[in-house]
Amino acid sequence: MTENAQSTQATASSENYAVIIRDMHKWYGEFHVLKDVNLNVTKGEKIVICGPSGSGKSTMIRCINALEEHQQGDIIVDGTELTNDLKNIDAVRSEVGMVFQHFNLFPHLTVMENCTLAPIWVRKTPKAEADSLAMEYLERVKIPDQANKYPGQLSGGQQQRVAIARSLCMRPRIMLFDEPTSALDPEMIKEVLDVMIELASEGITMLCVTHEMGFAKTVADRVIFMDGGEIIEENIPDEFFDNPQHDRTKLFLSQILNH
Amino acid sequence: MNEAIASQPQRNIVSRLWNDKETRSVIIQIIAFAAIFAFFFFMVRNAISNLESIGKDISLDFLSQPSSYDISQSLIEYSSRSTHFRAMIVGILNTLLVAVFGVILATLVGFLLGVLRLSKNWLTNKLAYVYIEYVRNVPVLLHILLLHGIIVHALPLPKNAINLGDTAFLTNRGFFIPSPSFEPLFWVVAGLFVAGIFFSIWFSRYAHKVQDATGRHYPVFWINLGAIIGIPVLAYFILGSPIIWEIPELKGFNYRGGMVVRPEFVALWIALSLYTAAFIGEIVRAGISAISWGQSEAAAALGLSRGRILNLVVIPQALRIIIPPLTSQYLNLTKNSSLAIAIGYMDIVATIGGVTLNQTGREMESMTIVLLLYLTFSLLISSFMNWYNKRIKLVER
Ligand SMILES: Nc1ncnc2c1ncn2[C@@H]1O[C@H](COP(=O)(O)OP(=O)(O)OP(=O)(O)O)[C@@H](O)[C@H]1O
Ligand SMILES: [Mg+2]
């Protein structure tokens, strides 16, 4: 294959992929957190990432919107390569939504203002339009009646749904979730998962770090298992759960399923 | 359970009132109020009868008598033939002067120190740290005396003054700087400046409305800066610099003409400001670092730029934490300015509470006046800061 042909193939493929991670490494000082990560996520694909604590799941998805810097390899998000160029980083961040384990809502702003902040200041949306957009997504996550409250006045499950609505208001093409339900009481987990399942049916690309195996079985196109900073195994959910290949995967699954 | 309810009406009335949450608090307040009132009544009556027994009465007549002492620095016309009342006004103005300039400088330096303490640059961070630890662990009186000593003893006599470009002269008698006299055209510049302020207030609101309506952002800060500073400065030069500066000149042993900033003022101002700034620096650092990193991350993940993250997310939350302790620092600075007397800066304490008191022997009256004046200033400052705090709180909650 000529070099030319190869590069056209590369552009063609990057159009089909929402995220491309190639030979990516990351270090925290001396500590090698991510080792040779390769992952292609097609547009609209739902991916669930699991693995033991400290295996680098958070670090990997935080690299996708440049909250963490990678030191080697390439990350291409929606056709834009993440380099040191701050313009690229801002462009990627406004296309990629992120939901955190601890919600990170802005406590000094109302639910409504949390949702309209970025559309107004990043997308330059007129306020009325931003408000109705926010209302639309608050309805989608089923809390339109809380719009004028402050985050501190809501339950954990409600706060996490606001956080999801806040991200959606930027109309992202890719959503990242970092253990969105693990800080919640059991009775609130379902209300958040329901919102996420509904979202998954709408064609958005999702990467979700979670140990909710029921959610993975219903929603995921692919499950990825990480350990020690590496992707150990990836498969479609049925195969992954019923027929894991690696010993470490088997051990991990036996631990969380017996749990 | 049932027994307790049944037995309740049988308790005597005093016990019932005392155990009621609301009546108890009312009773306590009444007792406290009566005790305080009785105490003051007793003290004042004693003081009056004691003063009477040594032939003194309480009277404010002395305020209208000639003061017959000089004051080195005065913002208004004053001579030894002026009244004690006027001397008091001079003292009030001098206290206000050092307090206002002190609060401004302390705030600027304090916020700078706070930001430097948060910087990732090891050197600036440690320098700010060392500065703060040194300054706030030495009594402010020593800072004032030290700075005064440096100015009075280390600066040259007027005949060897440190000459700053033939316009300003630093000497141990004070800093001699040019004094302005304004030509009529200057008032055009002043008018433009005031107009600029009004324009900015209007423009900020207008820009906000436009942003709400169309989403468009104006560079509000830069446009307002241009209106308030840029246009007046431009007009100043176009109108041919309508201020005539009178440059101080060495005549005999001292400088004549121009303005003099007294060493006492400089020492007090700088010492109070830098001392208070160290505390403000710590307050600012604590306020900003109390905002969790997750807040900045969430804002960054939404695509907000660094400047916007600070302006829209971090600072509004940090201010809420910073304002109350900042208020006490402003109060401290104002009250600490009474240490002026140590270096002979003629503030409230040195005039009405010092020379006037000594000359007239009116301790009760003078000290009461001094006390009431400080109380007034402090209450004004704290009510302004409380108003501001409420305002930013209301925006938030
Ligand atoms: N800022 C940091 N500096 C140094 N080491 C870090 C930092 N953040 C994370 N690590 C380390 O990197 C490794 C991977 O962390 P990461 O948070 O990605 O794990 P995780 O898979 O998300 O775990 P968990 O399930 O507990 O959230 C861990 O060993 C962690 O101690
Ligand atoms: Mg994690």
From the list A136, A24, A130, A145, the residue with the least C-alpha distance to A76 is A24
Q: pLDDT at position B397, please?
A: 47
Spacing of C-alpha A259 from chain mean position? 25
Residues B258-286: tens digit of each pLDDT: 888 888 999 999 999 999 999 999 999 99
Q: What is the DSSP letter of B84?
A: H
* Nearest chain B alpha carbon to A172: B302
Does one domain contain both B374 and B293? Answer: yes
Let me know if residue B230 belongs to a domain: yes
Let me know if residue B221 belongs to a domain: yes
Q: Which residue has the tokens 């600075």?
A: B333
**A59 C-beta closer than 6 A to ligand 1:** yes
Q: pLDDT at position A175, please?
A: 95
pTM, rounded to two decimals: 0.80
Ligand 2 geometric centre to CA of B90 (Å): 65
Residues B363-386: tens digit of each pLDDT: 888 999 999 999 999 999 888 888
Query: Which residues of B fall within a CB distance of 8 Å from A67?
Result: 297, 300-301
B126/B18 Cα distance (integer angstroms):
57
Query: Which residues of B fall within a CB distance of 8 Å from A124?
Result: 215-217
Let me know if residue B139 belongs to a domain: yes
- The answer to whether B303 contacts A108, with C-beta atoms less than 8 Å apart, is no
Helix (H), strand (E), coil (C) string for chain A = CCHHHHHHHHHHHHHHEEEEEEEEEEEECCEEEEEEEEEEEECCCEEEEECCCCCCHHHHHHHHCCCCCCCEEEEEECCEECCCCHHHHHHHHHHEEEECCCCCCCCCCCHHHHHHHHHHHCCCCCHHHHHHHHHHHHHHCCCHHHCCCCHHHCCHHHHHHHHHHHHHCCCCCEEEEECCCCCCCHHHHHHHHHHHHHHHCCCCEEEEECCCHHHHHHHCCEEEEEECCEEEEEECHHHHHHCCCCHHHHHHHHHHHHC
Specify the CATH number for the domain of residue B98: 1.10.3720.10
Does one domain contain both B303 and B162? Answer: yes
Which of B205, B221, B246 is the last residue before a domain boundary? B246
A259 pLDDT higher than 90: no
B322-346 core/surface letters (b: 16 or more CB in 10 A; e: else): bbeebbebbbbbbebbbbbbebebb
Looking at the complex, report in whole angstroms how far the Cα of residue A126 sits from the nearest Cα belonging to chain B: 4
Let me know: does A224 contact A211? Beta carbons within 8 Å.
Answer: no
Residues A5-33: tens digit of each pLDDT: 444 444 546 678 999 999 999 999 999 99
Q: What is the mean pLDDT of residues B129-148?
A: 94
Q: Which two tokens stand for residue B392?
A: 């930013």
Query: Which residues of B fall within a CB distance of 8 Å from A130?
Result: 215
Let me know if residue B64 belongs to a domain: no
**A20 C-beta closer than 6 A to ligand 1:** no
* Nearest chain B alpha carbon to A63: B301
Q: pLDDT at position B9, please?
A: 57
Ligand 2 geometric centre to CA of A181 (Å): 12
Does one domain contain both B144 and B266? Answer: yes
Expressed as residue numbers, the domain containing B92 is 84-178+261-392
Residue minimizing CA distance to atom 2 of ligand 1: A28
B6/B363 Cα distance (integer angstroms):
64
User: Which of the four pLDDT bands, split at 50, 70 and 90, describes residue B172?
Assistant: confident
The strands making up A205-209's β-sheet, listed across from edge to edge, are A96-99, A174-178, A205-209, A46-50, A222-227, A230-235
Q: pLDDT at position A10, please?
A: 47
Nearest listed ligand to the Cα of residue A26? 1
Let me know if residue B345 belongs to a domain: yes
Does one domain contain both B220 and B310? Answer: no
Ligand 2 geometric centre to CA of A100 (Å): 9
Which of B220, B246, B272 is the last residue before a domain boundary? B246
Tell me, yes or no, if A110 comes closer than 8 A to chain B by beta carbon.
no
Does one domain contain both B142 and B281? Answer: yes
Does one domain contain both B158 and B269? Answer: yes
Does one domain contain both B335 and B228? Answer: no
Let me know if residue B253 belongs to a domain: no
Does one domain contain both B366 and B383? Answer: yes
Does one domain contain both B192 and B96? Answer: no
A34/A52 Cα distance (integer angstroms):
14
Ligand 1 geometric centre to CA of A33 (Å): 8
Residues B21-71: tens digit of each pLDDT: 888 888 889 999 999 999 999 988 888 888 888 877 788 888 999 988 888
Mutate to test the interface with B, among A121, A122, A160, A177 (most CBs of B within 10 A): A121
φ, ψ of residue A21 to 5 degrees: the values are -120, 125
The count of domains in chain B is: 3
Let me know if residue B397 belongs to a domain: no
Ligand 2 geometric centre to CA of A58 (Å): 4
Does one domain contain both B265 and B164? Answer: yes
Does one domain contain both B160 and B284? Answer: yes
Chain B (292-331) residues lying within 8 Å, Cβ to Cβ, of chain A: 292, 294-295, 297-305, 308, 312-313, 316-317, 320
Q: pLDDT at position B387, please?
A: 87
Q: Which amino acid is at B60?
A: L
- The answer to whether B297 contacts A100, with C-beta atoms less than 8 Å apart, is yes
Which of B222, B246, B270 is the last residue before a domain boundary? B246
Let me know if residue B58 belongs to a domain: no
Q: Which two tokens stand for residue B3?
A: 């027994």
Q: Which amino acid is at B89?
A: I
Does one domain contain both B283 and B370? Answer: yes
* Nearest chain B alpha carbon to A131: B212
